[in-house]
Amino acid sequence: LRARCPRVFVAGFSMGGTLARALAQRHELAGVSTISAPVFLCRLFPYFSPDPLLFCSGLLRFWRPRLAASAPRPESRRIAPWQGYEGAHFVRPLHSFKVAAGKVRQGLGRVTAPILVLHGARDRAVHPDNAWGILSRVSSARRELHLLHMRETLTSGHLLVTHEETRASVSALVLG
């Protein structure tokens, strides 16, 4: 991109936000935006895990290829449309992501580009403490955090980019 554009910005949602931070550690960027992005998926203290089996993914990946996940309700789908993985969490890729997220977390001090962190205030898939984990570790002189609030309580609060209450704000903040 740098060959075509003098300034490069990256933005990513969830795992894509972790990848955006990895790029920001390796390349000089004009800015980086992360949306609902994890630095951890589960932790013991203070306790958070959307599924307690996440703690065992390193061992579990050898015996159980996937974990069942509940299907979204039709009303949830209307509020926050999503096409992607559903019905199961595949353990090997999930464990690989946990390991990679840890490596990216360790290198956050190398991120110097201006950073915008967007997170759902009540995200039940990627805990909101992840936003603070990003901001507290980067070396960026310009840091901006927006915790987005939603009135509804049916969805996980994770899909900010498609959620009817937050998608316009996400677009405006990332493009602004």
Are 57 and 147 spatial neighbours (Cβ–Cβ below 8 Å)? no
Task: Tell whether the model's pLDDT for residue 61 goes beyond 70.
Answer: yes
pLDDT of residue 20: 98
- Residue 6 CB burial class (10 angstroms; 0-12, 13-18, ≥19): exposed
Q: What is the pTM of this model?
A: 0.92
Task: Tell whether the model's pLDDT for residue 156 goes beyond 70.
Answer: yes
Residue 29 to residue 10: CA distance in whole angstroms? 8
Q: Which two tokens stand for residue 55?
A: 């703690």
Residue 121 to residue 134: CA distance in whole angstroms? 15
> What are the backbone dihedrals phi and psi of residue 149, each rounded to the nearest 5 degrees, phi first?
-105, 145
Paired strand residues for 9: 31
Task: Tell whether the model's pLDDT for residue 2 goes beyond 90.
Answer: no
Per-residue pLDDT tens for 62-90? 999 888 877 777 888 888 887 666 677 89
Residue 18 to residue 29: CA distance in whole angstroms? 15
pLDDT of residue 11: 98
pLDDT of residue 78: 84
